[in-house]
């Protein structure tokens, strides 16, 4: 959710008070004020770069995931099974780290395989037709059908 754009829209377009915005978002009023005053598009949080217990096994896990991607749905191993295989190789980290790595790997693979960019945009345009106009139009243009 683009929280900053929601806060700005509520404040400047819909004229909500800061107190109302704070109530709806669960943020403090000071935080809402800070977001309204900031020039940035979205707040950026610094994520420290720290090593993971999974790093020595990342190549092996990526290889396992590539093998699993080639399998049929019924033949694929679950992430729990992949975690158990890594544990047999000496990995003593958590299942959640393995699952997060698999999610990121699958998302990156999906982005690589996507051939048409971000997808296709098909603009939808409709004529506004009032029901009385439909009845009037069909009476004029349709041939009379005897009953």
Q: Check residue 90 and report its DSSP letter.
A: T
How many domains does the chain fold into? 2
Confidence check: pLDDT of 142 > 60: no
Domain-located, residue 95: yes
C-alpha to C-alpha distance for 94 and 83, rounded to whole angstroms = 8
Domain-located, residue 48: no
Within 1-147, residue ranges assigned H as helices are: 3-8, 18-25, 29-37, 58-70, 79-88, 95-113, 131-141
pLDDT in tens, 86-123: 999 999 999 999 999 999 999 999 888 876 666 666 77
Those residues whose C-beta lies under 8 Å from the C-beta of residue 58, and which sit 6 or more positions away, are: 101
63 and 25 in a single domain? The answer is no
29 and 63 in a single domain? The answer is no
Write down the pTM of the prediction.
Answer: 0.50
Handedness of CA 49, 53, 54, 60 (dihedral sign): positive
pLDDT of residue 43: 59
pLDDT in tens, 22-47: 999 899 999 999 888 887 766 566 77
Domain that holds residue 27: 3-37
pLDDT in tens, 44-70: 667 778 888 999 999 999 999 999 999
What does the block give as tokens for 14?
């819909």
Domain-located, residue 126: no
Domain-located, residue 107: yes
pLDDT of residue 88: 96
27 and 72 in a single domain? The answer is no
Domain-located, residue 128: no
């Amino acid at each position: 959710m683009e929280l900053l754009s929601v806060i700005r829209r509520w404040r400047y377009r819909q004229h909500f008070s800061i107190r109302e915005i704070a109530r709806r978002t669960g943020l403090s009023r000071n935080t809402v004020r800070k977001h309204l005053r900031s020039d940035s598009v979205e707040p950026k949080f610094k994520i420290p770069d720290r090593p993971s217990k999974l790093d020595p096994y990342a190549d092996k896990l990526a290889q396992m995931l590539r093998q699993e991607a080639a399998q049929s749905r019924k033949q694929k191993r679950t992430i729990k099974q992949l975690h158990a295989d890594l544990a047999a190789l000496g990995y003593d980290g958590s299942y959640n780290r393995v699952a997060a790595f698999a999610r990121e790997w699958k998302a990156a693979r999906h982005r690589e395989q996507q051939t048409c960019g971000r997808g296709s945009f098909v603009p939808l345009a409709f004529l506004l037709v009032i029901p009385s106009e439909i009845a009037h139009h069909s009476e004029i243009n349709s041939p009379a059908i005897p009953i």
